[in-house]
Amino acid sequence: MGGQHKSERLQYFIEQLSRKCSDSNSLLDGILRMARKITRADAGTIFLTEGEELVFAYTHNDSLFSADEAYKHAYAAIRLPISKSSIAGYVAATGELLNLANVRALPPGVPYAFNESFDRKTGFVTRSMLTLPFLDGSGKRLGVLQLINSLCPAQGRVEAFGAEMEEDCRMLARAVSGILERTALEKKGIYGILRMAAVHDPTETGPHAERVGAIAAELYHAWAVGRGYDPDRIRHEKGCLRLAAMLHDIGKVGVSESILKKPGKLTEEEFAVMRGHTAIGASILAEDSGEIAALARDIALHHHQKWTGRGYAASGEEGKLAGEAIPLGARITAIADVFDALVSPRCYKKPWTFEDALDLLRKEAGEHFDPELVESMIGLEALLPSIYAVFPDKN
């Protein structure tokens, strides 16, 4: 493809990506896909800068697992110091691009070394590596894109990354930095709302909201893959749901603290006020016209509905729905919210084990919860501990 043409196509791709990706995981997935296509890389990883460290943010590896499995590795909590001793650290520290033909035969005198631990653990053989920084407008390093093993299209042999690939990736990294900044701002907005709400209601703190968002997103992913949905649609909706589910209890800001923090049982009137957090949440979110806000509104209003129609939305009996009439996002969030409440310590109870909590979901399938979604949730059993490792309770 010609230079002009290619840059237009890249531009188009980046616009699509920024329109469709509402959370950073689906954005990173899209970036990595494109970067690997341009460079024919067998594997790739994105690190994002967090203070003085690089945090492993997303990875693809065709030789070790399919792209559909890649999301499972999004919760691996790997951190690297930003220092010149590692390849990614060097790129983050200096802002320079490194194009290495063979990481096992590095030029003499370089300050960085190749870290073999991943290869040793997995049996993967890293050879050529292209590593470049994401820079924002002011030159601040937002993260690092690392591509591994460029495959020769004819024989599938590993070769060095070409100079043209370097240029294309630089262009991609520049454009992507702008999107990263924007999603960081949007996320900051949502986190700001959650922090304010947490002052009022400490049980709905950051980690609970983060976990409900992450579990809801993965539950949707598993369910939608099972239904054979289009991968682009799944990525998009998963991203929206993750953020929207975090706001499920935002309406608790409108419930008085004497009721929220009451140690004993609530009276019938108090419970009616408590039920009202669903409608208050929906009205708070009614101001915003965006897609995430619309989904968040559905979730806030309906996350206490039950599959059999015994739940509630708003303070009275109004708004009762059953079965598939309950919006999907709310059915998913109900499961994630109850699961997280069960496995978390509360002043009135010890945390349940994951097994016991999943057992309860199983018992409530077709009663409180959508039975098909409970099945998908059970399929996440192996992934759940890593979500809890990434978002632990802060004491």
- Give me the residues that bind Fe ion (CB under 5 A), please: 249, 337
Q: Which of 92, 117, 87 is nearest to 103 (CA)?
A: 87
Q: Which of 259, 279, 276 is nearest to 267 (CA)?
A: 259
- Pick 30 or 251: Cβ nearer Fe ion: 251
- Pick 120 or 394: Cβ nearer Fe ion: 394
The SS3 call for residue 346 is strand
Cα(65)–Cα(54) distance, integer angstroms: 23
Q: Which two tokens stand for residue 251?
A: 């309406």
Rounded to a whole number of angstroms, the minimum distance from the CB of residue 24 to Fe ion is: 22
Q: What is the DSSP string of 113-160?
A: B---HHHHHH------EEEEEEE-TTS-EEEEEEEEEEEPTTT--EEP
Cα radius of gyration (the chain): 23
Asked if 212 and 201 count as a contact pair (C-beta separation under 8 A), the reply is: no
- Pick 115 or 344: Cβ nearer Fe ion: 344
Q: Which of 185, 147, 183 is nearest to 166 (CA)?
A: 147
For residue 340, the one-letter residue type is D
Rounded to a whole number of angstroms, the minimum distance from the CB of residue 277 to Fe ion is: 6
- Pick 168 or 337: Cβ nearer Fe ion: 337
On the 0-12 / 13-18 / 19+ scale of CB atoms within 10 A, 257 is: exposed
- Pick 337 or 364: Cβ nearer Fe ion: 337
Cα(342)–Cα(198) distance, integer angstroms: 19
- Pick 249 or 298: Cβ nearer Fe ion: 249
